[in-house]
Structure 1
Amino acid sequence: MKTILITGATGFLGGAVTVNLLKKEEAHTLLLLVRSRSAEEGLARVRANLAKFGLSAQQLAQLTPENILSGDLAAPAQFLDDARLDSVTHVLNCAAVASFGNNPLIWKVNVEGTFRLASRMSRVAGLQRFIHVGTAMSCAPQANTLVTENELDTLRDQHIVEYTWSKATVEKMMLESLPTLPLVIARPSIVVGHSRHGCSPSPSIFWVFRMALALGEFMCELEDRIDVVPVDYCADALELLLNAEQIEKTIIHISAGENSSVTFAEIDRAMARASGQLPLGDRYQKVNYRQLSESKSRFPALFGPCNERIVLRAMKLYGHFSRLNVVFSNEKLLALGMPPSSKFTDYLHHCVASTRDATLAELMEVDFK
């Protein structure tokens, strides 16, 4: 029987994976690493997060304090001596500080804490698989390319944000320094919303599309493509990687690929349908960051109360990513039997409906914490 350690169960992707595993009938034991002062407090945090994915009270009741490992990757010494770790057979490491801000915990959690956890688990005799969730953006992709999986050899100045640099760094450290770790690196592309629940579990990144289309201008062409997948597809893929045979030391994209990625023009039309408005079409303008910053006087009317400085920083960061026009190959994942992802435009109406009453500032909080 599997004993599965999941980090990040109070987050977006970690929560979606935990939901999947709770719905399965086959026997396994879950051990959830949660920032908390007690197992009871940790259990309450996990249940509150999983409820956002539509789990019933009966399903949530499957989790008890015994499933909780209280600890924090920012201070791994608090939990690395817990004897329960020696019984773990599989690890799903979803935890990270996924902020595009300047959060001082990014390096401490994403690199130092993650590497110490991986080092500890590499010494567990019965460990069969350690799945580390990175990001497809960690390779600092070249614009206008189809990106395939490869080991990383990037420099700090190739990364726009500390988050992607931290993910690239810890991957390299694990591959080079932990030869006995049964490592699988999963690199999701851009994860936005849930194919049924929209942005109810998390509004991460969706607000960027709403912001750009409200302005009627951004830093990409409407015909540029973007590789977006829903969080439940990512969770299904991670579950597949958990159970697949002979994939040790593999790097795999979880992505929309060439067939399910979409253009910004398609997003514009889908957003308009969901909002009961006309698409921008020819009214859209590609602009540079200086021109975007000159629009700040329009922010309150378009977005409601917001911090202009943070909004402009967000535009600069996401504007860079939007104009990359890259797609991440998903051939490896499809070869394992994973079906293609739904297109962002197939479920975007759920994202619109679930965020209709939220301000831009409220939606941005999750990505700039």
Structure 2
Amino acid sequence: MEVFLTGATGLVGGEVLVNLSKRSEIEKIYCLIRAVSYENAQARLSTIFNLHNDEFNQQKVIPVLGDLFDEELTAKLICNEQLAQVTTIIHSAANTSFAKVKDDLVEKANIGGLTKILLWAKRLQSLNTFMYVGTATICGRDVKHRLVTEDETPNLNANHLVKYTYTKMQGELLLKQHLPEDKILVVRPSIIMGDSRKVEPRSPVILWALATMNKLRLVPAEQFASLDMVPVDFVANVMTQLLFVKRNYNVYHISAGNDACTSARQLAQVFDEYFDDMLPHLFVGKEMLNPLKLWAKGKLPVGHELYQHYEYLEHLKYEFEDLSNLRILFAGLDPYIEFAELGQRFDNSRIIEDLGIEPSEPGHQYIHNCLHYIERINLLEGAIDP
């Protein structure tokens, strides 16, 4: 088996790459890497393997210089003779930003970039499987507080909270336009949060929201809504295993499901025990988000009920001497709160059926492995590019 992987330096792609490199069934893994030179690309791949002290076999893991934004990418891939025997494509690369100012880039990467890969893939005579990494949250904002099955989406009538989920829905539709159904394998992770092992996570993506919640302590969100979150190592393991089993479906949620969901309250309890020198988390509901923004601007009317939480407001003044930084955090936190309020759970019965695996640990059980890392996350950097 020869594999072509995009997103190899990302959160999910990096874990998948390491997993694949350990499989004897795989002869070559070609990784699309944005780099100025072949040597630079190899150095970027080396960083992926060095993070957890995994072996980097340079004879097996081979960089292919390329960029999803390059209008000539399809032609370059077609002309690359070493890719002629690729049997499996894993398209993990994506722009995952929730920021509205990044909407154009998100669309160009997630739809334009995918199209370029597909135009090459459909010409590969040896292609058996095109694995597309989507997201379970393509179900949109109208689905609330219930279990969502794979067959419900993509739904063209779905209303999306952010451009990212819209492009992931469109990506699934593109697959069907370009490839026969028997070659398509769609995996839809739910919320990918941290790592269940005691290792350094590859990225602070989404963990940033927990780090922010931990620092704020006064949280404008619903505390008991279900959060379907899974660790990145679980996602990567499922993706890898799906390549080597008889599959009964071509779309799979990689999710916590009904039995392993968590909630903001359960996560907060873990943080309260670990950071026991801080105020306990106080959830005040999403309706307090705008008052908090006004307070940070010094414009909250006297007598507002938010002032009842004086001790927490003093905490915020102490932690954020420049309250303009607090306003930046709230702006970045907005879409995460919106997603958390939906209370969505995603059916995981297909991966349990086809792989015979146990569901992942609930988030409040494995997140303690990430707490030392969460302490070091740059909150402002994450808020500017959520």
Q: What TM-score do the two structures reach when normalised by structure 2?
A: 0.85
The AA in structure 2 aligned to 1:292 is L
Partner of 1:238: 239
In the TM superposition, residue 326 of structure 1 has moved relative to its aligned partner by 1.0
Partner of 2:364: 345
1:51 aligns with 2:50: yes
Partner of 2:302: none
CA distance in 2: counterparts of 1:95 and 1:352, whole angstroms: 27
In the TM superposition, residue 351 of structure 1 has moved relative to its aligned partner by 1.4
CA distance in 2: counterparts of 1:262 and 1:341, whole angstroms: 11
Partner of 1:186: 187
Cα separation, partners in 2 of 1:303 and 1:262, compared to 1, 3 Å: farther
CA distance in 2: counterparts of 1:96 and 1:341, whole angstroms: 24
Cα separation, partners in 2 of 1:341 and 1:180, compared to 1, 3 Å: closer
1:313 aligns with 2:331: yes
Q: 5 Å matches for 1:9-28?
A: 9-28=8-27
**Which sections of structure 2, spanning at least 5 residues, go unmatched?**
298-312
Moved more, 85-94 or 227-236: 85-94
The AA in structure 2 aligned to 1:225 is S
Cα separation, partners in 2 of 1:106 and 1:314, compared to 1, 3 Å: same
- Aligned residues of 1:268 and 1:279 also touching (Cα < 8 A): no
Partner of 1:293: 293
Cα separation, partners in 2 of 1:76 and 1:15, compared to 1, 3 Å: farther
- Aligned residues of 1:138 and 1:168 also touching (Cα < 8 A): yes
Cα separation, partners in 2 of 1:279 and 1:134, compared to 1, 3 Å: farther
- Aligned residues of 1:240 and 1:338 also touching (Cα < 8 A): no
CA distance in 1: counterparts of 2:382 and 2:199, whole angstroms: 13
CA deviation vs aligned residue, 1:293-346 (integer Å, no higher than 9, x gap): 234366563357774453222222111111001111101111112321122112
Q: 5 Å matches for 1:213-224?
A: 213-224=214-225
Q: Percent same amino acid among aligned pairs?
A: 28
The AA in structure 1 aligned to 2:88 is H
In the TM superposition, residue 226 of structure 1 has moved relative to its aligned partner by 0.1
Cα separation, partners in 2 of 1:77 and 1:23, compared to 1, 3 Å: same
1:328 aligns with 2:328: no
- Aligned residues of 1:219 and 1:323 also touching (Cα < 8 A): no
Q: Secondary structure at the match of 2:114?
A: helix
Q: Secondary structure at the match of 2:5?
A: strand
Cα separation, partners in 2 of 1:199 and 1:139, compared to 1, 3 Å: farther
In the TM superposition, residue 230 of structure 1 has moved relative to its aligned partner by 0.5
The AA in structure 2 aligned to 1:284 is F
In the TM superposition, residue 202 of structure 1 has moved relative to its aligned partner by 1.1
Q: 5 Å matches for 1:1-369?
A: 2-52=1-51, 54-56=52-54, 59-60=55-56, 62-63=57-58, 67-75=62-70, 77-78=72-73, 79-81=76-78, 82-101=80-99, 102-103=101-102, 104-141=104-141, 142-150=143-151, 151-155=153-157, 158-179=159-180, 182-197=183-198, 200-247=201-248, 250-277=250-277, 280=280, 283-288=282-287, 289-296=289-296, 301-302=318-319, 307-336=325-354, 337-364=356-383, 367-368=385-386
CA distance in 1: counterparts of 2:16 and 2:363, whole angstroms: 20
CA deviation vs aligned residue, 1:106-136 (integer Å, no higher than 9, x gap): 1111001102212321221111111000111
CA distance in 2: counterparts of 1:83 and 1:270, whole angstroms: 52
Cα separation, partners in 2 of 1:113 and 1:342, compared to 1, 3 Å: same
CA distance in 2: counterparts of 1:247 and 1:37, whole angstroms: 42
Q: Secondary structure at the match of 1:32?
A: strand
RMSD: 2.4
Q: What TM-score do the two structures reach when normalised by structure 1?
A: 0.89
- Aligned residues of 2:258 and 2:346 also touching (Cα < 8 A): yes
In the TM superposition, residue 76 of structure 1 has moved relative to its aligned partner by 5.2
In the TM superposition, residue 32 of structure 1 has moved relative to its aligned partner by 0.5
Instruction: Count residues in correspondence.
Output: 359
In the TM superposition, residue 26 of structure 1 has moved relative to its aligned partner by 4.1
Q: Secondary structure at the match of 1:260?
A: coil
Cα separation, partners in 2 of 1:295 and 1:47, compared to 1, 3 Å: farther
- Aligned residues of 2:131 and 2:185 also touching (Cα < 8 A): yes
CA distance in 2: counterparts of 1:85 and 1:353, whole angstroms: 41
- Aligned residues of 1:275 and 1:352 also touching (Cα < 8 A): no
Cα separation, partners in 2 of 1:309 and 1:175, compared to 1, 3 Å: farther
